[in-house]
Structure 1
Amino acid sequence: MKLHLLDRASAKNSSFTVSMNSYPHFLKIWHHHPELELVAIKKSTGTRFIGDSIEKFVEGEVVLIGKNLPHMWLNDDVYFSDNSELTAEAIAVHFIQDFFGEGWLSTPEVQPIARLFELAQQGVKFEGLSPKTIDEIEGLLQLQGFDKAVSFVKILNKLAKHPSYTLLSSAGFVSSFRKSDDENLDRIYSFIFKNFNTPIHSKDVAEIAHMNPSAFSRFFKRVHRKTFTRYLNEIRVGFSCKLLMEHNKSVSEVCYESGFNNISNFNRQFKTITGMSPSDYVKLHT
């Protein structure tokens, strides 16, 4: 899964862009861009990849993604079938932090928004938002000029003060991704996300990184403050949580589809990372 840098430059007559995206399925592109992105899902379901977070997404969710944080929305298999009549729809707002003028985030009145942009570095999913908020985001499509800019600031202020949210990507991923001044870490992440549910080992990734296994292990632990094995297990467990929430596969099926090679290890790693067993997780989300 190659990481792409997308050009999301705003139009000349606007400091940010608002678009309604409607496709048979969302584009399967693992990408990043220098603009922040506010996404409101209108229709469709699937798996959301943001940094090292892998979760199920549903209609009605709103997510804010920080600049250069890799992400992708992957629809469920049914959206890719030849006879599918389903559509995937989302409103996306792309903007730079200083879209309202240089230095505006340093003013006292907008400190909640400045804090929100800091949180967005990991990706923020807002919990329990009113449907009215999505209507307000969609309403930006009908506005122009000053009215559009002021309305967007009001939406950001409402999101900044919303009490319930979840940070998506780990701080370790964001920190290590920022430190990448060459393609080495990009290659590592791309290989892991493409192959995490297959039998891979640290020596396989070491080859991708052009390092010997022991040097790679030291490098990875220094960057992430955890071993490669722990990191891989967290990715696999995150994906297994998404599968378990869909309620259409048994725990053993989820185990093997997530990249684990036996049930006992799956159960052990799942409980270590989530604090509960896979079966308890299913009951919690029933």
Structure 2
Amino acid sequence: MKLHLVDRSSLNDSSFTVKTNKYPNFLKLWHFHPELELVYVAKSNGTRFIGDNIEKFQKGELFLIGENLPHMMLNDDRYFEPNSKLMAEAVVVHFKKEFLGNDFFLTPEMKHISKLFERAKLGIRFREIDNSIINQLTKLENQTPFEKTLGFLNILNSLSNYKNYDLLSSQGYIDSFNHLDNEHMAKAYAYIYKNFTATIYLKDVADVINMNPASFSRFFKRVNRKTFSRFLNEVRIGYSCKLMIENQLDITSICFESGFNNISNFNRQFKSIKEMSPTEYIKYHRKS
């Protein structure tokens, strides 16, 4: 399954979007986008993929997914049966961290929300969320633009002070680059996410952003605090974990499907990143 860049740049009539999605199942699309995403699962269950974190989800859960963090909500098989009458419903807010201006959340009164955005780069699951927050969220879609903006700010304020949460993904999925490098790194990430299942050389990515390979290598390590090869392997291993949870391929097939060209290197990289072997990982998640 390919990773897709979702482009919402044509949505110019609003600084952020609120939508209630009601479908027989959530879209089976592993994707990323420059907007942050706040998701409340009103109905449905299945497996969620946020970066390299793969866990079950159920109704009533609330997540905040950071910018450019790959993710997918995959419903259980029974949602795809021909005669299934099950429904998947979620309230979704998409917004950029600058949706009220470049400096709005840098003011002293708003810095706590800016810190929330930073934490969201790993993906956040809020536990035992207050009903008052959910009620505010579900009402947003039908409010006037002004009321909607104030309501959403109230929600962000509440979530920024909420203490019962989990950070989900690993460091390999953080897009922690400084603002001057955003454009270059966005192009580099997009190329990696699109082509990681094939053979990728550092020079290939360097060419995309018109940089010398040696300079790009130093640049990438400075921005991501890890080498290009380590980052690429983390993306591939994260994808292999998704395939293992789906339980549709054997380990050898998953190795090649994820972009590795031999099983020994796959096993070595998997253990280095996940601190367990692929077989141990499968047993762990089947037990869970």
State how 1:33-44 maps to structure 2 within 5 Å: 33=35, 36-42=36-42, 43=44
| Structure 2 equivalent of residue 70 of structure 1 | 68
Structure 1 residues 115 and 134: alpha-carbon distance in aligned structure 2, compared to 1, 3 A threshold: same
| Structure 1 equivalent of residue 219 of structure 2 | 219
Structure 1 residues 8 and 84: alpha-carbon distance in aligned structure 2, compared to 1, 3 A threshold: farther
Alignment check: 8 A CA contact 2:172 2:234 kept: no
Give the counterpart letter for 2:27 in structure 1. F
Give the counterpart letter for 2:228 in structure 1. F
Give the counterpart letter for 2:9 in structure 1. L
Q: Distance in 2 between matches of 1:251 and 1:230?
A: 21
Structure 1 residues 46 and 192: alpha-carbon distance in aligned structure 2, compared to 1, 3 A threshold: farther
Matched residue SS, 2:280: helix
Structure 1 residues 97 and 283: alpha-carbon distance in aligned structure 2, compared to 1, 3 A threshold: same
| Structure 2 equivalent of residue 279 of structure 1 | 279
Identity of aligned residues (%): 37
What is the Cα deviation at residue 230 of structure 1?
0.8
| Structure 2 equivalent of residue 196 of structure 1 | 196
What is the Cα deviation at residue 229 of structure 1?
1.0
What is the Cα deviation at residue 275 of structure 1?
1.5
What is the Cα deviation at residue 190 of structure 1?
1.3
| Structure 2 equivalent of residue 31 of structure 1 | 33
| Structure 2 equivalent of residue 266 of structure 1 | 266
Alignment check: 8 A CA contact 1:55 1:239 kept: no
Alignment check: 8 A CA contact 2:49 2:242 kept: no
Matched residue SS, 1:249: coil
Alignment check: 8 A CA contact 1:17 1:93 kept: yes
Residue 242, structure 1, aligned to residue 245, structure 2: no
Structure 1 residues 240 and 199: alpha-carbon distance in aligned structure 2, compared to 1, 3 A threshold: same
Greater mean deviation of Cα atoms: 205-214 or 238-247:
205-214
What is the Cα deviation at residue 3 of structure 1?
6.3
Alignment check: 8 A CA contact 1:45 1:76 kept: yes
| Structure 2 equivalent of residue 125 of structure 1 | 124
Alignment check: 8 A CA contact 2:255 2:262 kept: yes
Alignment check: 8 A CA contact 1:41 1:89 kept: yes
Alignment check: 8 A CA contact 1:6 1:32 kept: no
Deviations 1:102-125 (A, max 9, x none): 689735xx87655424423x1432
Q: Distance in 2 between matches of 1:222 and 1:152?
A: 35
Alignment check: 8 A CA contact 2:53 2:170 kept: no
What is the Cα deviation at residue 129 of structure 1?
3.4
| Structure 2 equivalent of residue 180 of structure 1 | 181
Q: Distance in 2 between matches of 1:157 and 1:199?
A: 44
| Structure 2 equivalent of residue 4 of structure 1 | 7
Deviations 1:242-267 (A, max 9, x none): 22233343322322221112222111
Alignment check: 8 A CA contact 1:172 1:223 kept: no
RMSD, matched Cα: 4.3
Give the counterpart letter for 1:4 in structure 2. D
Matched residue SS, 1:106: coil
What is the Cα deviation at residue 18 of structure 1?
3.0
Q: Which 5+ residue runs of structure 1 have no aligned equivalent? A: none
| Structure 2 equivalent of residue 106 of structure 1 | 108
Alignment check: 8 A CA contact 2:17 2:94 kept: yes
Structure 1 residues 84 and 260: alpha-carbon distance in aligned structure 2, compared to 1, 3 A threshold: farther
The normalised TM-score by structure 1 is 0.71
Alignment check: 8 A CA contact 1:21 1:89 kept: yes
Structure 1 residues 181 and 260: alpha-carbon distance in aligned structure 2, compared to 1, 3 A threshold: closer
Q: Distance in 2 between matches of 1:27 and 1:246?
A: 12
Alignment check: 8 A CA contact 1:127 1:166 kept: no
The normalised TM-score by structure 2 is 0.70
